[in-house]
Structure 1
Amino acid sequence: MANYTHGHHESVLRSHSNRTIANSAEYLRPHLNADARLLDVGAGPGTITVEFAQHVAQVTATEIGPAELALSQKLAAESGAANIDFSIEDVHALSFADNSFDIVHTHQVLQHVADPVQALREMRRVTKPGGIVAARDADYAGFVWFPLLPELDEWLRLYRAAARANGGEPDAGRRLLSWARAAGFEDVTATASTWCYATPEERAWWGGMWADRILESALARQLVDSKMATGADLQRISTAWRAWADDGDGWYLLPHGEIIARA
């Protein structure tokens, strides 16, 4: 596993806890069925995981360590979901037997792993013949926004550099199809979807989250410790995020690649 660029600061979880099937896994919804056993690789805070549990027979949620897994365990307990179990896993070498799951899902994970092709091979191995591996990842090079604030260009350049320094690929969305083919999948449907933030409420949430995240998260520490940026640089970027959020013309688009790959 590559180093996780975002870390788990409250500002990061604020973002990840907003994810649902509707905004992050709608492409998979038609394939969910009441008899399915689903593996959710990289469950994070568990918001998508808990929703999956309402649509399938059994969900297994994984994370890279006990602290990370505790987030989805807590939400599952609070929701009363009784059909979720949990496992600490390395996606490059999953502990499950061959042909264990009907569906394997992963969201915003392959951009962070050291070897996404090997990760997909493992997901394919544990999927039953004819089952589905579903992956969705952002593509940072495709992010677009208005107004065109130079500090946000600086933010994007720094984020992509930090992610690559950690062994990840921030422009993963466009690569999912090629990674799946390299992993041995022959039946792959590749699609795309977006997040768009333009209302005052959406701008306040997205811009405010990044204004905090660029100052306080693991990304911020990495940028300063590696001398990619100074504390003053990050403060300028944070201020620009708040300026963008306050601008009535503000608009932000994030593209995502998606794949439905048949095992």
Structure 2
Amino acid sequence: MDRRSESATYTHGHHASVLRSHTWRTALNSAAHLLPHLKAGMRVLDIGCGPGTITVDLAGYVPGGHVTGLERVGDILAQARGLAEEKGVANVDFVEGDANALDYADDSFDVVVCHQVLQHVKDPVGILAEMRRVTKPGGVVAARESDYGSFAWYPAVDGMEKWRWLYRRVASANGGEPDAGRMVHAWARKAGFATGAIASSSSTWCYSTDEEIAWWSGLWAERTVASAFAKTAIEGGLAGETDLDDISQAWKRWGQQEDAWFSVLHGEVICRK
């Protein structure tokens, strides 16, 4: 069996500030493009499931079926399993594995999905090809990726564009592609899906209420100085501690603006095998 493994470095890591963002995600706010394609009895594989909030949600859309969450970093799976137990969801399990070489036979799943994964890997086309391999004929491969170059916010606060500039360079240096959202449909075609079998769409997360702005600005202010992003930025010579402190303060200033607003654009695909 092909034993390829991931060589890119996950830019965010699993600091508490990162997990606050990940655990906010649900099937409805992060996989709405997939939901109309789910049916009772389906077998689903969720690639890069992290703390499992999307995975556990998806299980409710396939009654009588089963959802498996796969994550390369096994330590986070205890949290995912705890969430499933807390919610009383029995038709879900979680396994450790690398999406570059899935330990499943061809044609094993009705649906294979990933969310915010392909932007962090060295070979997104290869992973999509693996997802396609383990999907049954007539089944669905779904992906959703953000596009940092298309993020929009208001008002323009000094330091925020410096954050985007630095993030894109750190992510690229780690082996990823921060503008994946605009490319995911092309990657799917290169992975073997016919052009006519790929349905593309886009959607956003939008933070606009006082509570949303405080949450979004606060987690990025902390993530900028305390997560793996900070460590790799410094070790890679892309920023110093003063630079990161300045960017963190910019996030705080932006979050204090009365008219603060932030939109995260995503590119999505539904691919039929």
TM-score range, shorter chain: over 0.9
Task: Give the structure 1 partner of residue 166 of structure 2.
Answer: 158
Q: How does 1:1-263 map to 2 (within 5 A)?
A: 1=6, 2-56=8-62, 57-186=65-194, 187-263=197-273
Query: Which amino acid is the alignment partner of residue 22 of structure 2?
Result: H
**Count of residue correspondences:** 263
| Structure 1 position 55, deviation (Å) | 1.3
- Checking the alignment, whether the CA contact within 8 Å between 1:135 and 1:258 is kept in structure 2 is yes
| Structure 1 position 115, deviation (Å) | 0.3
- Offset from partner CA, 1:230-251 (integer Å, 9 cap, x none): 1111111111111111101111
Distance 2:184 2:116 in 1: 11
Query: Which amino acid is the alignment partner of residue 239 of structure 2?
Result: A
Query: Which amino acid is the alignment partner of residue 253 of structure 1?
Result: S
Distance 2:73 2:52 in 1: 14
Structure 1 residue runs without a partner (length 5+): none
- Checking the alignment, whether the CA contact within 8 Å between 1:63 and 1:69 is kept in structure 2 is yes
Distance 1:178 1:237 in 2: 33
Secondary structure of 1:69's partner?
helix
Distance 2:249 2:9 in 1: 27
Distance 2:266 2:21 in 1: 16
Secondary structure of 1:94's partner?
coil
- Offset from partner CA, 1:203-262 (integer Å, 9 cap, x none): 101001101100100001111222211111111111111111110111111100000000
| Structure 1 position 199, deviation (Å) | 1.4
- Checking the alignment, whether the CA contact within 8 Å between 1:200 and 1:246 is kept in structure 2 is no
User: Is the deviation greater in 196-205 or in 72-81?
Assistant: 72-81
| Structure 1 position 183, deviation (Å) | 0.5
Distance 2:10 2:130 in 1: 20
Task: Give the structure 1 partner of residue 3 of structure 2.
Answer: none
| Structure 1 position 171, deviation (Å) | 0.3
Distance 1:83 1:151 in 2: 46
**Stretches of 4+ aligned residues off by more than 2 angstroms:** 68-71
Distance 2:178 2:243 in 1: 21
Distance 1:243 1:18 in 2: 23
Distance 1:189 1:159 in 2: 29
- Checking the alignment, whether the CA contact within 8 Å between 1:191 and 1:259 is kept in structure 2 is yes
Q: CA RMSD in A?
A: 0.9
- Checking the alignment, whether the CA contact within 8 Å between 1:121 and 1:184 is kept in structure 2 is yes
Structure 2 residue runs without a partner (length 5+): 1-5
- Checking the alignment, whether the CA contact within 8 Å between 2:125 and 2:191 is kept in structure 1 is yes
TM-score between both structures, scaled by the size of structure 2: 0.94
TM-score between both structures, scaled by the size of structure 1: 0.98
Secondary structure of 2:137's partner?
strand
Secondary structure of 1:181's partner?
helix
Identity percentage of aligned residues: 54
- Checking the alignment, whether the CA contact within 8 Å between 1:194 and 1:253 is kept in structure 2 is yes
Secondary structure of 1:44's partner?
coil
